């Protein structure tokens, strides 16, 4: 199975368990690995034979901007669900997706690191 990796998708959202996270918001970063058959695109050189990673990026950013979840785990699952749904006609289906969602500045006292939730999901065919 072939892979498309999309890294560094950033968007400002309102996901968090603390009330102030739901009001003030913060930056999130998403990294994706999509498993699909892109052999047709390798021969045809047509965007319609692969996944439009520009469109995927915009969809993920829009979800982060509009979602209201308490947990990173829920955001990661929502992104996976979004990407595993059927794509436009003639696009190859995404068979599996790995989603890593990072909270870049988590509100944890005396902590300057980041928190990442990573999941792997497969199409339910």
Which residues belong to the active site?
103
Q: Who contacts 3 (Cβ-Cβ below 8 Å, separation ≥6)?
A: 33, 34, 35, 36
Q: Who contacts 77 (Cβ-Cβ below 8 Å, separation ≥6)?
A: 119, 121
- CA gap 64, 54 in Å, rounded: 16
Q: Give the strands of the sheet with 2-13, arranged side by side.
A: 2-13, 26-36, 96-103, 115-122
8 Å CB contact between 64 and 14? no
Q: How far is CA 6 from the centre of its chain?
A: 9
């Amino acid at each position: 199975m072939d892979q498309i990796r999309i890294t560094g998708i950033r968007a400002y959202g309102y996901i968090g368990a603390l009330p102030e996270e739901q009001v003030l918001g913060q930056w999130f970063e998403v990294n994706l690995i999509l498993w699909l058959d892109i052999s047709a695109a390798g021969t045809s050189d047509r965007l319609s034979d692969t996944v439009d990673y520009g469109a995927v990026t915009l969809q993920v950013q829009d979800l982060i901007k509009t979602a209201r979840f308490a947990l990173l785990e829920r955001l990661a699952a929502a992104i996976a669900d979004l990407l595993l749904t059927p794509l436009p006609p003639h696009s190859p289906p995404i068979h599996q997706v790995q989603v890593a969602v990072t909270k870049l500045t988590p509100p944890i006292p005396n902590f300057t690191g980041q928190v990442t939730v990573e999941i792997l999901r497969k199409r339910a065919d």
